[in-house]
Structure 1
Amino acid sequence: MTSHPVATATERGESFVLNWTNITFFAVFHLLALLAPWFFSWSALGVAILLHWLFGSIGICLGYHRLLTHRSLQLPKGLEYAVAVIGALALQGGPIFWVSGHRRHHLDTEDINKDPYSARRGFWWSHMLWLFYKRPEFFGYEAYRHYAPDLDRDRFYRWLDRYFLLLQIPLGVGLYLLGGWSFVVYGVFVRAVLLWHSTWLINSATHITGYRTHNSDDNSRNLWWAAILTYGEGWHNNHHAYPNVAKAGWQWWEIDMTWWAIVLLQRLGLARRVVLPPS
């Protein structure tokens, strides 16, 4: 994969400029999630947990990450598109943006300039602050599309990358029809905030603490509680050592719920060419 000629702000000797659009967006979602106690019901909480798993494990971990970024398995194209839509509903960016950023993370892991969420800038930078600045080399479509050319060639993925935010409208309407505002508060805002911070822990916590099974050229770690919150992604040292392997948890105690879904798809004859750990 060739690097794109757009230089980083640090390489150009510039200071970062705050992105108030992103800051406002994340602030509004966090504030609306705080309404949860006034809209609580057990069914609404159940919706939040269900969608956290569906959008997080199936959409992000299986779809955006193991399928689209690393091509650790193959699915029929229609099912691949469906899983990508589920990933887009997680509100973590369009597929081309997400895949590009993660490929760059692997290409220059922890490089303070080239890794979008380099852990060398500190926990809070890699956790969320990287999203709060205008960095066209990472957030500009003309820059990031070069790191996901396979997706950029696909008209559907270009559409999904551009309009993924609009998917929250039918989601919100559907939740309101099913359970009123409590379902909307928990199914959209509480779920989004919890899923964001779960996913961001992989960028932050698993590059700071945990155990190392493999001597990868970075500080990636296996962190059990992060793996539970992210359906297997917390076995991050395993992943960085063998990024194209579909199974993140290698030992019997390394619980990997996303891998269970891949095994089910494989037994149904839907998942093919699943990349396994080396023997």
Structure 2
Amino acid sequence: MTRLFSEHFPASSAPTPEPLKLSWVSIVFFTIVHGLALLAPWFFSWSALGIMILLHWFLGSIGICLGYHRLLSHRSFQVPKWLEYAIALVGATALQGGPIFWIAGHRLHHAHTEDEEKDPYSARRGFWWSHMLWMIYPKEEFFNPNLYRKYAPEMARDPFYLWLDKYYLLLQIPLGVALYLLGGWSYVIWGMCLRAVLLWHSTWFINSVTHMWGYRTFETNDNSRNLWWAAIVTYGEGWHNNHHAYPHVAKAGWRWWEVDVTWWAIQVLRSLGLATKVIMPPAVKN
């Protein structure tokens, strides 16, 4: 597995474990957003629910799963640069970090899967660590731009990605204004706060539960699993054992019943001539 990412990870001696330091900024941020999300029942409307579902899919499936993950992290297919930038903007709006930060951390996860020091969200450190504590106790090498950028060097050379990685939070301003103009505070609470919380935990489930529960199709050198309900809430990412066995393959669900909504979007792009060099599973290459 490490060999697949060797171009990004030069050999080095084992790092000395650094003491954990609590990030109060992270605690306050996550507490505020979760608290605002709890207000959702008092701001309910059917249209607000619809907006939340739409944005959960658009920002999650298109922005994170298709964009940050399969396109930018693994380069499992190619799109024109203008479209790549547009998809990266969608991913950055999901409020899961800038693109270089996200991609660098994910590449480290694959290069050193479940290593307690080198994998940012190693499942061997327990459910809560892999789910969210790795952000509450941030390690310098994973959160300092001067350090993590070396794991996504092609993006660190791109002025657009450097800007987006630094200022991605600003995208919440036009999103919030647009939602308020469309439906007032109801749309803001449901479309921004509740959507962010649900999408966070959906994504974090891939780091936590799919390294603990589910079935294994491939005997990989880690504990990655295929978990049906995680695949539903993450638009196909829950077929995690398939992904760890063949990380550069664009399709996560291989069997007919392994539903992969993000793969459907890639197929649409391919049918339009916008997605090329799509890497398929070995058994179904065409």
What is the CA deviation profile of residues 46-102 of structure 1, one whole-angstrom value per residue up to 9, with x for unaligned ones?
A: 100000000000000000000000000000110100000000011000000000000
Is 1:166 paired with 2:170?
yes
* Alignment equivalent of 1:276, drawn from 259, 277, 280: 280
* Alignment equivalent of 1:34, drawn from 34, 38, 42: 38
Distance 1:97 1:252, change over 3 A: same
* Alignment equivalent of 1:153, drawn from 154, 157, 167: 157
Moved more, 130-139 or 215-224: 130-139
Distance 1:173 1:139, change over 3 A: same
User: Residues 169-188 of structure 1 correspond to what in structure 2 (within 5 A)?
Assistant: 169-188=173-192
* Alignment correspondent of 2:240: 236
Could you list the runs of 5+ residues in structure 1 that have no partner in the other structure? none
User: Residues 1-12 of structure 1 correspond to what in structure 2 (within 5 A)?
Assistant: 1-3=7-9, 11-12=15-16
Is 1:121 paired with 2:108?
no
What is the CA deviation profile of residues 216-244 of structure 1, one whole-angstrom value per residue up to 9, with x for unaligned ones?
A: 11000000000000000000000000000
User: Residues 181-220 of structure 1 correspond to what in structure 2 (within 5 A)?
Assistant: 181-220=185-224
* Alignment correspondent of 1:141: 145
Q: CA deviation at 1:134?
A: 3.3
Could you list the runs of 5+ residues in structure 2 that have no partner in the other structure? 1-6
2:128 & 2:180 partners in 1: Cα distance?
A: 34
Identity of aligned residues (%): 69
Superposition RMSD in Å: 1.4
* Alignment correspondent of 2:4: none
1:26 & 1:86 partners in 2: Cα distance?
A: 21
1:5 & 1:182 partners in 2: Cα distance?
A: 51
Instruction: Give the conservation status (yes or no) of the 8 Å contact 2:17–2:117.
Output: no
Residue 28 of structure 2 aligns with an amino acid whose one-letter code is: T
User: How many residues in Structure 1 have an aligned counterpart in Structure 2?
Assistant: 277
Distance 1:49 1:235, change over 3 A: same
Q: CA deviation at 1:23?
A: 1.1
Q: CA deviation at 1:4?
A: 6.8
What is the CA deviation profile of residues 18-48 of structure 1, one whole-angstrom value per residue up to 9, with x for unaligned ones?
A: 0111111111000000010110000001100
2:174 & 2:244 partners in 1: Cα distance?
A: 36
* Alignment equivalent of 1:77, drawn from 81, 85, 100: 81
Residue 33 of structure 2 aligns with an amino acid whose one-letter code is: F
* Alignment correspondent of 2:3: none
Is 1:108 paired with 2:112?
yes
* Alignment correspondent of 2:70: 66
Residue 216 of structure 1 aligns with an amino acid whose one-letter code is: T
2:158 & 2:178 partners in 1: Cα distance?
A: 29
4+ residue runs over 6 A deviation: 4-8
What is the CA deviation profile of residues 125-152 of structure 1, one whole-angstrom value per residue up to 9, with x for unaligned ones?
A: 0000100013111000011000000111
Is 1:44 paired with 2:22?
no
TM-score w.r.t. length of structure 1: 0.97
Instruction: Give the conservation status (yes or no) of the 8 Å contact 1:222–1:238.
Output: yes
Is 1:90 paired with 2:94?
yes
TM-score w.r.t. length of structure 2: 0.95
Distance 1:48 1:106, change over 3 A: same
3-state SS of 1:128 partner: helix
Residue 148 of structure 1 aligns with an amino acid whose one-letter code is: A
Q: CA deviation at 1:13?
A: 4.7
3-state SS of 1:134 partner: coil
